[in-house]
Chains A and B, each alone.
Chain A
Amino acid sequence: MTAIDMPAPRAKSRFWRKFRRNRAALVGGVIVAFFVLLAVAAPILPIADPLATSWTAIRLAPSAEYWLGSDEIGRDILSRMIWGAQASLMAGVISVAIAVVTGVPIGLIAGYFGGWTDTIISRFTDALLAMPFLIMAIALAAFLGPSLTNAMIAIGLSAMPIFIRLTRAQVMSVKTEDYVEGARAIGLGHMAIMGRYILPNITPPIIVQATLTIATAIIAEASLSFLGLGQQAPAPSWGSMLNVAKNFLTQAPWMAWWPGAAIFLVVIGFNLIGDALRDALDPREH
C-alpha cells in the first residue's frame, strides 16, 4: 500500500474520465457489485436457513439439491456462503471506516500544525507501523476477546497508521497552496481551513487507499475467523468455514473450495478497483 499523488482540482474530471474507461475497474466493479447484491439480498433469497442442520445430509457433494454441497453437520454451503458474504463485506467496510475515521483527523492535525504535534504523532505512527498488520490485529483481538465486532475494531486500529501517514503527507503538500494561504489571510479558523479547504482536496488518494485497504481487511477478517478470533460459530463467515473445512479435506474437499474462491474473487475485485483508481491518479499515466 503506497501513498498516491493528489490531482490538481482541474484534473479531477480527467481522473474520473480515465477511471471510467478502465476495463479492469469495470471487471472489479461487477465482481464487487455481485457480492454486495448477494449479501444485501440474503434475507429475501429462496435459500435454506444457514444454521439449519440435517443429520441425513452430512458432507454431501454438490448436487441439484445442495448446489455447493453440505458441511459436516448437514448445513447448506450455498446458504452459508451467501450469509457469510455479509460478514466479510461488513468487516471489510466497517474496519476501514474505523481506520479512516480515526486516522484521517490525526493525520490532518499532524500535517497541518506540524512542530511538536507532528513529531509526537509521527513517532506514535512509526511505532504502530513497526508492528505487522496481522500480528497487531491478532494481539488486539486476543486481548479484546474473540468476536466479529472485536475483529473489526482490531483490523481498523491496525490499519489506522496507514491513513495517518497518508493524510499527513497529503496535507503537507496542500497546506502551502495559494488557496489555503488565501483562506488564512481572510481570517478563517484552523477547523474551517482544514474542513473546507484541505480535506476536500486530499480526499481522492484517501479513497484509493481505502479501497485497497478494504481488500486487505477482508483477508484479515477471514484470517482472524480462520484462527477462531473473528466470527464465532454457528454464525457463518468465509474464514471460519475454511477453518472447519481444513479438518475434512479428504472426505469433503468442496467445503474448502467455495469460501476460499469467494474471498479470492471479492479481494481481487477491490484490488482491481483500487489499482484503476491509483492509475487514474498517477500523473505518469496521463
Chain B
Amino acid sequence: MLIYIAKRLLVALPTLLIVSMLVFGLQMLLPGDPVLAMAGEDRDPETLARIRAQLNLDDPVPVQYLRWLGGVVQGDFGTSLRTGQPVSELILQKLPVTIQLAVMAMIFAALIGIPAGIIAAVRKGGVLDWTANIVALSGLSIPNFWLGIMLILLVSVNLGWLPASGYESIFVDPVRSLETMIMPAFVLGTGLAATLMRHTRSSMLGVLSADYIRTARAKGLTGRQVVLKHSFRNALLPVITLSALLFGELLAGAVLTEQIFTIPGFGKLIVDAVFNRDYAVVQGVVLCTAVGFLLMNLIADVVSVLLNPRMRAAL
C-alpha cells in the first residue's frame, strides 16, 4: 500500500508543478505594469520601488518563478500587501474555520443525500423516486447565495431562531459555534446532498440488478437485509470516492457562503484579497486549494483500494 501511495504521489508531482506555473502566471494577466496594478491608488514612487523589490520584478520571469517556487516549497507564499502578514500565516488562521464549515456541510449532505438516494433507488419509478429526483434537481439548480439570503430572511429576520451572521470557534463556545454555523452548513451542503443523492441512486440501481442480489433474494432474505447488508455496502464505495472529490466544490461554495454569512474563513480571505488587490494572497489561496484537491484525490484513491478487496488484491 505504501508503494502505491508513493507512486500516486509521484504522479501528482508534475501536475502540482504545472499548477504552480499557472498560479504564478496569473500575475502576467495584470494589464500594464503589474506594480502599478498592485499598488492601486498609491502611486508613491517609494511604494512602487518597495513592491518591485519585494517581487524581484526586474529579474527574468523564469528566475522570478523559481525564486517564488523555492519559497512556496518552504511554506513561504509571500507577504500580504495589505496587512504585511505572511500569506501562509493568514491561510493557517482562516483554514480551520472553512474546514469546520466544510465538515458540517458534508455531514448535512450525507445525512440527506445518501438515504434519499437509497429510497429513490428502492422505489424506482414511484412517487418517492420522482420527488427525490425533483428535489435533487432543484438542489443542483438553486444558487446557494440566494438560498442563504432567503434562509436569513426566513430563519433569522422573520423567525429570529438563528443568528444571520458571525462566527465563534467550536473550541471556545461550541453551542454558539453550532448556532452560527448550522445555516451556512445547510446552504453549502444542499448542492452536495443533491449530487450525493443522484450518485447513491445510480450506484444502488446498478447493485440492485446484480446477480448476487437476486441470489440473496432467492435465499429468502428480507428486503431490508438485501438493501442494507448486501446492496448499500457495495453501492457506498463510489459514493465515498465521490465525497472526497467534492472537496473542490465545497471550497468554491464556501467562498459565497462565507461572504453571505460573514464567516471569516478561507473563502472570505480570497474575496477580500481580490478587492484589496492583494495578489499574493489570491495566489496562495488558489495554490493551497489545488494542493488540497490533489490530496483529496489521493485519499479517495487510497480509500477505494482499502475498501475494495478486488482492487486490494491487484496491488
Binding site for B on A (CB under 8 A): 123-124, 126-128, 130-136, 138-145, 215, 219, 222-223, 226-229, 242, 245-246, 249-250, 253, 256, 259-260, 263-264, 267-268, 271-272, 275
Contact = CB atoms under 8 A, between A and B. Distances in A.
A131 B19 contact: yes
Contacts of B15: 123, 126-127, 130
22 contacts: A126-B15, A130-B15, A130-B248, A130-B290, A130-B293, A130-B297, A132-B248, A132-B249, A134-B255, A135-B255, A135-B286, A138-B274, A139-B26, A139-B270, A143-B26, A143-B29, A222-B145, A228-B275, A260-B143, A264-B138, A264-B141, A264-B142
B259 A136 contact: no
Contacts of A259: 146
A250 B26 contact: no
A135 B137 contact: no
Given A227-B259, A263-B143, 15 more contacts: A130-B19, A131-B286, A135-B252, A135-B255, A135-B286, A139-B282, A143-B282, A219-B143, A226-B145, A229-B274, A250-B157, A264-B142, A268-B138, A271-B137, A271-B140
A133 B252 contact: yes
B33 to A, nearest CB: 14
A219 B218 CA distance: 48
B29 A140 contact: yes
Contacts of A140: 26, 29
Nearest to A266: B141
B252 A260 contact: no
Interface stretch (B48-56, B114-122, B148-156): B148-156
A215 B255 contact: no
Interface in B249-284: 249, 251-253, 255-256, 259-260, 270-271, 273-275, 279, 282-283
Interface class of chain A by DSSP? helix
A249 B141 contact: no
Interface in B268-310: 270-271, 273-275, 279, 282-283, 285-286, 289-290, 293-294, 297
Contacts of A132: 248-249, 251-252, 289, 293
B62 interface: no
